[in-house]
Structure 1
Amino acid sequence: MSDILDGVTTFVRVVETGSFALAAERLELTRSAVGKVIVRLEKRLGVRLINRTTRSQSLTEDGQAYYDRCVRALAELEAAEADLDSGRREPKGRLRVSVPQCFGHHCAAPVLLELARRHPQLTIDISISDRFVDVVEEGFDLVVRVGPLADSVSLAARKLGMQYASIGAAPAYLARHGTPRNVDELRGHSVIAYVRGGLPMPWDVVDVDGQVRRAQVHPQLGFDDMQGIVDAAVAGFGLAWLPSWLLARHAGKGELVTVMENCFRPAQEIHAVWPKSRYLALKTRCAIDALVAGIPAMLGAPAAG
């Protein structure tokens, strides 16, 4: 007797990704192996599920009807596993997480490492990259994002905190060039910029009177990586835009000085994001709870006023 679920997960993944090649990558199989699974499934069912050419694929009418039923069936199985999870104290299995580079190295990864230490049956794969990942298509269980969230019906999110940004510089640089006290005095200083999409991000700074003004700065150096900005600032190349929590760490070691604190607007929200589901796996829930508990203290509170 054949297994009625044989090939179902592969079929659903092929439909969701829209590609045999992408499905193979997510399932850690070869494209040929995925193709053979679909052929066997179609042969067992006696219908064609997917029309495929060298350039495209589309569901047949039978394929669409079967896909809809498969999704519901897998959701029920997922619910059954979640029920078992709820009675299990120990999270286990593989958890795939994506986090931004600087925030990931300094904040998210330490929390997840501690989670792995507490739960030895939990396997955590951490991707550290500033690349915007597709949570569902790339098969991540959990993603941390800094900045505004795009609306998505397929994703759920939980806020981890707020990231404020400050201006800092090395003590040696300030000794040579002086310490600016307001937005006007930033003019003429050497600046290390954060670059996104090939363009330096503007410095919209809260001035001493509480008004937000755009500083007239012309960066000599620009990085799309926050660690590069930190290294250049510590080396004395100029004033730097830095997350306040990161600047505070280097200020505590005497490598940098805070020039204007929590002065950039808008501040950035930080969220944990995961694929929306009726039932959240224990491994994912534990990781979210750990981040919610651990991240706020790392970010620190903004200065009053």
Structure 2
Amino acid sequence: MSDILDGVTTFVRVVETGSFALAAERMNLTRSAVGKVIVRLEKRLGVRLLNRTTRSQSLTEDGQAYYDRCVRALAELEAAEADLDSGRREPKGRLRVSVPQAFGHHCAAPVLLRLARRHPQLKVDISITDRFVDVVEEGFDLVVRIGPLADSGSLVARQLGVQYASIGAAPSYLAQHGTPRNVDELRGHTIIAYTRAGVAEPWDVLDVDGQIRRAEVEPQLGFDDVQGIVDAAIAGFGLAWLPCWLLARYVQTGQLVAVIENCFRPLQEIHVVWPKSRYLPLKTRCAIDALVTEIPAMVRAPAEGAHPITRRA
């Protein structure tokens, strides 16, 4: 007797990804192997499930009906596994996570490292990249995002905190060029900016009078990597845009000085995002809980409620 579920998961993945090649990549199979699975499934069922051409594929009427039922059946199996999972004392299995580069190295990865140490059966695979990843298509269990969320309704998000940003510089730079005390005094300073697609983010700064003003600055150096900004600032190149959680680390070592704290607007929310599902696996739930517990303290704004300008001699 053949296994009634043989080929079902592969068929659903092919439909969801829209291509044999992408389904094969997600399942770590060859395209040929995926094609053979679908052919065997159609032969066993006695119907054609997919209309296939060299460039596209589409569900047949029978295929659509079968797909709808397969999705419901797999959801029930997922629910059954989740019920068993909830009875376990230890999370287990592979957890795939994507996090931004600097934030990942300094904040998210240490949290997940501690989680992995507590649970030896949990295998954590962390992708550290500033590239925008497709959570569902690329098979991630969790993704940390900084900034506005623009994903579809197929995802769930939970806020981890807010990223505040400050202006920092090396003591050597300030000794040579002076310390700006307001937005107007930023003019003429050498600027290290954060860039997206080669375009520098504007410096919209909260001034001493509580008004938000765009600083009239022309960045000489730009990075799309926050750690690159840190390195240039420590080298004494100029004033730098830096997340407060990162700047604080180098202020403590004396390598940088906080010139204007918590001054950039708008603020950027930090979220953990995961695929929407009726049942959340224990491994995913434990990771979310760990991030929600530890991250807020790491990214809290310096001197909350205090004046944004830090005056220094």
TM-score normalized by the length of structure 1: 0.99
Give the Cα–Cα distance (whole angstroms) in 2 for the partners of residues 54 and 176 of structure 1. Answer: 65
Name 2:285's counterpart in structure 1.
285
The 3 A distance-change label for structure 1 pair 23 and 151 is closer
Give the Cα–Cα distance (whole angstroms) in 1 for the partners of residues 151 and 39 of structure 2. Answer: 36
Name 2:252's counterpart in structure 1.
252
- Unpaired runs of 5+ in structure 2? 307-313
Name 1:171's counterpart in structure 2.
171
Give the Cα–Cα distance (whole angstroms) in 1 for the partners of residues 126 and 46 of structure 2. Answer: 42
1:228 aligns with 2:222: no
Name 1:127's counterpart in structure 2.
127
Instruction: List per-residue Cα deviations over 1:72-103 (Å, max 9, x = no partner).
Output: 00100010011001111100001111001110
Aligned AA (1:187)? R
Give secondary structure in 2 for the equivalent of 1:245.
Answer: helix
Name 2:155's counterpart in structure 1.
155
Instruction: List per-residue Cα deviations over 1:104-133 (Å, max 9, x = no partner).
Output: 011000000110000000111111101111
Give the Cα–Cα distance (whole angstroms) in 2 for the partners of residues 118 and 58 of structure 1. Answer: 46
Give the Cα–Cα distance (whole angstroms) in 2 for the partners of residues 137 and 15 of structure 1. Answer: 12
Name 2:276's counterpart in structure 1.
276
Aligned AA (2:248)? A
Aligned AA (1:154)? S
1:264 aligns with 2:277: no
Deviation at 1:151, TM superposition (A): 4.7
Give the Cα–Cα distance (whole angstroms) in 2 for the partners of residues 103 and 253 of structure 1. Answer: 19
Give secondary structure in 1 for the equivalent of 2:182.
Answer: coil
Give secondary structure in 2 for the equivalent of 1:258.
Answer: strand
Give the Cα–Cα distance (whole angstroms) in 2 for the partners of residues 151 and 37 of structure 1. Answer: 32
Q: Is the 8 A contact 2:169 2:257 kept in 1?
A: yes
Q: Is the 8 A contact 2:166 2:261 kept in 1?
A: yes
Give secondary structure in 1 for the equivalent of 2:89.
Answer: coil
Give the Cα–Cα distance (whole angstroms) in 2 for the partners of residues 76 and 187 of structure 1. Answer: 62
Aligned AA (1:197)? A
Give the Cα–Cα distance (whole angstroms) in 2 for the partners of residues 32 and 201 of structure 1. Answer: 46
Task: Number of aligned residue pairs: give it.
Answer: 305
Name 1:242's counterpart in structure 2.
242
Give the Cα–Cα distance (whole angstroms) in 2 for the partners of residues 233 and 51 of structure 1. Answer: 58
Give secondary structure in 1 for the equivalent of 2:216.
Answer: coil
TM-score normalized by the length of structure 2: 0.96
1:65 aligns with 2:65: yes
- Unpaired runs of 5+ in structure 1? none
Deviation at 1:54, TM superposition (A): 1.1
**Pairwise mapping of residues 2-21 of structure 1 onto structure 2 (< 5 A)?**
2-21=2-21
Instruction: List per-residue Cα deviations over 1:23-74 (Å, max 9, x = no partner).
Output: 1111011111111111111111111111111111111111111111011001
Where do 4+ consecutive residues of structure 1 move more than 2 Å?
A: 300-303
Give the Cα–Cα distance (whole angstroms) in 1 for the partners of residues 136 and 188 of structure 2. Answer: 46
Give secondary structure in 2 for the equivalent of 1:213.
Answer: strand
Give the Cα–Cα distance (whole angstroms) in 1 for the partners of residues 123 and 41 of structure 2. Answer: 31
Instruction: List per-residue Cα deviations over 1:146-203 (Å, max 9, x = no partner).
Output: 0111152100011101100000000000000000000000000000010101100000
Give the Cα–Cα distance (whole angstroms) in 2 for the partners of residues 20 and 224 of structure 1. Answer: 34
Give the Cα–Cα distance (whole angstroms) in 2 for the partners of residues 79 and 179 of structure 1. Answer: 60
Give the Cα–Cα distance (whole angstroms) in 2 for the partners of residues 248 and 209 of structure 1. Answer: 24
Give the Cα–Cα distance (whole angstroms) in 2 for the partners of residues 84 and 113 of structure 1. Answer: 25
Give secondary structure in 1 for the equivalent of 2:75.
Answer: helix
Give secondary structure in 2 for the equivalent of 1:29.
Answer: coil
Percent of aligned pairs with the same amino acid: 85
Aligned AA (1:220)? Q
Instruction: List per-residue Cα deviations over 1:220-275 (Å, max 9, x = no partner).
Output: 11111001000000001100000001000000000000000000001110011000
Aligned AA (1:298)? M
Give the Cα–Cα distance (whole angstroms) in 1 for the partners of residues 93 and 29 of structure 2. Answer: 19
Q: Is the 8 A contact 2:164 2:301 kept in 1?
A: no
Deviation at 1:298, TM superposition (A): 1.1
Give the Cα–Cα distance (whole angstroms) in 1 for the partners of residues 85 and 166 of structure 2. Answer: 43
